[in-house]
Amino acid sequence: MPELPEVETIRSGLAPHLSGQRITRVQMRRNNLRYPLPNLMQLEGQMIYGVERRAKYLLFQLNSDATLVWHLGMTGQFHVLPQQSAAGFHEHVQIDLQHGLSLRYRDARRFGYAGLLATERMPQHPWFANLGPEPLSSQFDAEYLAAQCQGRCVAIKSRIMDASVVVGVGNIYAAESLFRAGIHPARAAGRIAHARLALLVDAIQSVLREAIAAGGSTISDFVHSDGTPGYFAHQFQVYGREGQPCYRCGHAIKKITQAGRSTHYCPRCQH
Ligand SMILES: [Zn+2]
């Protein structure tokens, strides 16, 4: 499943090819994914003036005070290809642009979904209304996280993975951030000192920034690319390393299950 860094990498790869382009033709090869798709044919003639991101939603900003919002689900992929290229397997939507390229959406499992929303009412839409701040924004700082953790018995890992607290901290990035900050993933959120929460904010931000940088370097040639940005397993300190020695202290990395998700951590470095 694409996480925030992957979606941000996709956004930055798409934006230069889409921004300022008029939509000349739309082909919908099916009219539903996870939910029914909006009628995208009504976008013909409109201009895409930017591609933004909120949490894991891609936001295609149109010139009609509307935003095409797209979530990639489990297996959704966007590609930019010449219009004459044949439709690939599981390619459900093709949006042709005035410069001769087209935006293609593929999704083998079809858990992706899209909506055409009035831009000014987006913050109240159910997809967005309960989302916490972006992890890389100035709103997400130690004071904010401390307030969100105060008096909470829930495990810190569950707290930082709660999208109403902060968006985009998925299972892998939560585990990596907690390792960097030296915090045990099962520690009660309300029992962590402010200074340690400040370290955690720094860790979350640096882990995500590094993942975005790594993703960006792998798909610099976004046009004609059939690749999809993935994880960079060699960079993980704890995730997927059960039984292997901790890079910091040599102790075996441990795996536990929390709220149905596997968590990896070093029992010596994290407390
Ligand atoms: Zn260790």
Average pLDDT of 52-78? 94
pLDDT one-digit tens code per residue, 79-111: 999 999 999 899 999 999 999 999 999 999 999
Say which of 2, 5, 135, 185 is annotated catalytic: 2
- The burial class, CB within 10 Å (0-12 / 13-18 / 19+), for 25 is middle
Per the CB < 8 A criterion, the answer to whether 265 and 172 are in contact is: no
Is 2 noted as a catalytic residue in this protein? yes
Which pair of tokens denotes residue 270?
Answer: 């994290």
The yes-or-no verdict on residue 10 having pLDDT over 70 is: yes
Is 3 noted as a catalytic residue in this protein? yes
Rounded to the nearest angstrom, the distance between the alpha carbon of 51 and the centre of ligand 1 is 41
Rounded to the nearest angstrom, the distance between the alpha carbon of 182 and the centre of ligand 1 is 9
Q: What percent of the chain has pLDDT over 70?
A: 93
Rounded to the nearest angstrom, the distance between the alpha carbon of 252 and the centre of ligand 1 is 8
Q: Domain 142-265 adopts which CATH fold?
A: Helicase, Ruva Protein; domain 3 (1.10.8)
Say which of 11, 56, 106, 157 is annotated catalytic: 56
pLDDT one-digit tens code per residue, 212-253: 888 755 544 444 344 444 455 457 899 989 999 999 999 999
Rounded to the nearest angstrom, the distance between the alpha carbon of 251 and the centre of ligand 1 is 5
CA angle 184–215–202, rounded 5-degree value:
35
Round the average pLDDT of the chain to a whole number and report it: 91
Q: In the prediction, which pLDDT does 216 show?
A: 54
Q: In the prediction, which pLDDT does 225 show?
A: 42
Is 255 noted as a catalytic residue in this protein? no
pTM of the entire predicted model:
0.90
Q: In the prediction, which pLDDT does 226 show?
A: 44
CATH superfamily placement of domain 4-124: MutM-like, N-terminal (3.20.190.10)
Which pair of tokens denotes residue 17?
Answer: 């090819």
pLDDT one-digit tens code per residue, 16-27: 999 999 999 999
Spell out the domain ranges in the chain.
Answer: 4-124, 142-265
Is 123 noted as a catalytic residue in this protein? no
Residues with Cβ within 8 Å of 224's Cβ and at least 6 positions away in sequence, in order, are: 80, 81, 82
Q: Would you report the helix, strand and coil content of the chain in percent, each value rounded to 5? A: 30, 25, 45
Which pair of tokens denotes residue 225?
Answer: 């690319």
pLDDT one-digit tens code per residue, 108-149: 999 999 999 999 999 999 999 999 999 999 999 999 999 999
CA angle 54–58–61, rounded 5-degree value:
95
